[in-house]
Amino acid sequence: MDQRHATALKAAGMKATPKRLAILEMLEAEPGYASPEELWKRLKDRFDRLGLPTVYRNLEELSESGVLSKVIHPNRQLYYYFCSNREHHHHFVCLSCRKVEDIPSCGIEALEHEVSKRNGGKVLSHILQLNGLCGGCADNEEKR
């Protein structure tokens, strides 16, 4: 089951260490995004020694490799999310329960093209994230 993760790590040119595998397992099991510290607290039990910096470092590296994705949060803390979707896509983030849903098509290619054409600039990356309430949380909201 984590042969998948081991393979993903190798593909990203990273060693498949037990801690990295555990981080991936834990995040994959998570229904929503999680912070480095939250993950660390839960992971500590499974290792006699596990430093918080290790969790930070790995989450960042995994996110750079595209194995994990980062959530942009108003409180400016770091949150990560396991997303097996390897296509280009974006996320709808529930502000209430932290669930993250994929948004398949982003339609930004057209915008990028327009920007390049209009001002001669070159678009290197883009950030797109929808924030709101997921189906379940929106329902609960209404019942109040």
Partner DNA sequence: ATCCTAAAACGAAATCATTTCTATTTAGAG
Partner DNA sequence: CTCTAAATAGAAATGATTTCGTTTTAGGAT
Contacts with DNA by CB under 7 A lie at: 6, 9-10, 14-20, 35-37, 47, 49-54, 56-58, 60, 76-78
Binding mask 78-117 for its own copies (x = CB under 8 A): --------------x-xx-----x-x-xxxx-xxx-xx--
d(CA 29, CA 27): 5
Q: How far is the CB of 104 from DNA (least distance, A)?
A: 28
Burial label for 125, CB within 10 Å (0-12, 13-18, 19+), is exposed
Question: Residue 70 belongs to what H/E stretch?
Answer: strand 68-71
Does 133 contact its own copies by CB under 8 A? yes
With CB under 5 to 8 Å by kind, the binding choice for 11 among its own copies, DNA, none is none
Task: Tell me if 32 sits within 8 A of 99, measured CB to CB.
Answer: yes
Does 57 contact its own copies by CB under 8 A? no
Tell me the C-alpha to C-alpha distance, in Å, between residue 140 and each of 8, 19, 95: 38, 37, 13
d(CA 25, CA 27): 6
Q: Which residues bind its own copies (CB under 8 A)?
A: 72, 76, 92, 94-95, 101, 103, 105-108, 110-112, 114-115, 119-135, 137-139, 141
